[in-house]
Amino acid sequence: MSETLSTIIEILQDLHEDVDFESEDKLIDKKILDSFDIVTLISELSNEFDITIPADKIIPDNFNSAQALAKMVEELEDE
């Protein structure tokens, strides 16, 4: 597991302790994450990785799983 991914899972676990974020890939579709969680998450991620996540990145594809989140974060770090 990459460092990014494990940090993200840690943050997620902080939001919802009883979800298995390692395997869950329908966080948005199943409404596990609501808009409050997403905003909190973005603020945490920005803080943690020193990136800016613009509003147009907030689409289900980027938030449905910890892996997708990690991918997005890595891309934004690259830019």
Partner 1 sequence: MLFTDSIFIIGLIALFIVYFSVPKRVRWMLLLIGSIGFYAYSGPWNLIYMFVTALSTFLITNRISSMTRKAKDEVSAHKSEWSRDEKKAFKEKAKKKRFRWLVLCLLLNFGMLAVIKYGAFTMHNVNTVIGWFGGSQKLPVHRFLLPMGMSFYLFQTMGYAIDVYREKYEAEKNFAKLSLFVSFFPQLIQGPISRYDDLSKGLYAGNGFDAKRVMLGIQRILWGYFKKVALADRVMPAVTALISNTDEHQGMYVLLGILYYSLRIYADFTGGIDITIGIGQVLGIPIAENFQRPFFSKNITEYWRRWHITLGTWFKDYLFYPVSVCQPMLKLSKWSRDKLGKSVGKYLPVYISTIAVWFVTGLWHGAAWNFIVWGLMNAVVILISERLTPLYTKFHKKHAWSNTRAYDGFMALRTTFLMGLLRMFDCYLDVPLTFKMFGTMFYKWNPQVLWNGSLMKLGLGKPDYIVLGAGVLLLFIASLLGRRGSVRERLYDKSKFLSCCLTVALLLIVVVFGAYGIGYDSSQFIYNQF
Q: How far is the CB of 73 from partner 1 (least distance, A)?
A: 14
**Residues in contact with partner 1 by the rule CB under 8 A:** 31, 34-36, 38-40, 42-44, 46-47, 52-56, 58, 79
DSSP structure class, residue 73: H
Q: How far is the CB of 18 from partner 1 (least distance, A)?
A: 9
In this structure, are residues 24 and 32 in contact, taking their beta carbons and an 8 Å threshold?
Answer: yes
Q: Which helix (H) or strand (E) holds 3?
A: helix 3-15
CB nearer partner 1, residue 2 or residue 52: 52
DSSP structure class, residue 30: T
Listed in sequence order, the residues at least 6 apart from 49 whose beta carbon sits closer than 8 Å to its beta carbon are: 4, 7, 73, 76, 77
CB nearer partner 1, residue 1 or residue 59: 59
CB nearer partner 1, residue 3 or residue 50: 50
